[in-house]
Amino acid sequence: MNFNGVSRLVVVIAVSGLLAACGGGNNDSTANNNATAAAPFSGTFAFSANGTDPADGSYFVAGSFTADGKGGLTGIEDLNLGSGVDSNVPFTGTYQADSAGNVAITISDGTPVPTFFTFPAPSGSAAVKLNYNGTGTGTLQAQSTSGFSNVGTFTFTLNGQGEGTVTGSGSFTTNAAGSFVSGSENFQDGAFARNTSALSGTLSPVFSGGRGMAVIGTDMFSYYAVSQNQIILAGLENATLIYGTATKQ
């Protein structure tokens, strides 16, 4: 799918302090400044954002990446325009961070289309607000999947667009295989409403990048584990833009 200015995540963060640090001097000096600036930012992070692009309409993106502390990163993402989905997309990139803690990242998944991403470096497990391509907003926070299990009871909320505005909420409990053994959901898409007292579905274990797969009722998602109790849900339905979060109880 051609995501134009949004779908292919290339993150470039314009920070005035970085521009000042990179302006002037010879190439060796600039490289040294960039390497020094990048050093404070490292680790694995999960992110998500939603917005409206002038060319492609409403969208949602979620993913995770690892910053190496030296100005490089690798990651994976899922993108949904509502009319089409790019799923399980790997990317690589570079980044800079200034002395004020603002981070500038450029990531590429193999296409030439740029996207812009701005955020302050997070502290601990706290989430920070990000600006996505000047057309969307979202959050980014440190990702820790070591204590996460797909077995247990989760509550979830959903949002998006389909025939109308999508809202949903509910809960489910999984067994050792990740299958739902009980659950309920209240779901509305415009004038359509669905109330399910015996919700079916599955929640897979996490794979590379803290990413897993989920089926909640009739809807398919990828998910990104943020911590042992929190996941981001990214809808993979071509006809519906749907996304949300789930919290383990």
Residue 80 has pLDDT above 50, yes or no: yes
Is the predicted pLDDT of residue 221 greater than 90, yes or no? yes
Domain-located, residue 60: yes
Q: Report which of 249, 237, 6, 240 is spatially closest to residue 138, judged by C-alpha positions.
A: 6
The tokens 């399980």 sit on which residue? 88
Residue 19 has pLDDT above 50, yes or no: no
Cα separation of 115 and 4, whole Å? 9
Query: How many structural domains does the chain have?
Result: 2
Beta carbons of 15 and 113 less than 8 angstroms apart:
no
Supply 43's token pair. Answer: 């680790």
Whether residue 199 sits in one domain with residue 129: no
pTM of the model: 0.84
Residue entry with tokens 């998500």 = 48
Q: Are residues 216 and 96 in the same domain?
A: no
Show the tokens assigned to 113.
């289309």
Measured distance CA(116)–CA(53) in Å, rounded: 12
Say which residue, 161 or 113, is predicted with more confidence: 161
Domain span including residue 207: 153-248
The 3-state DSSP class for residue 15 equals coil
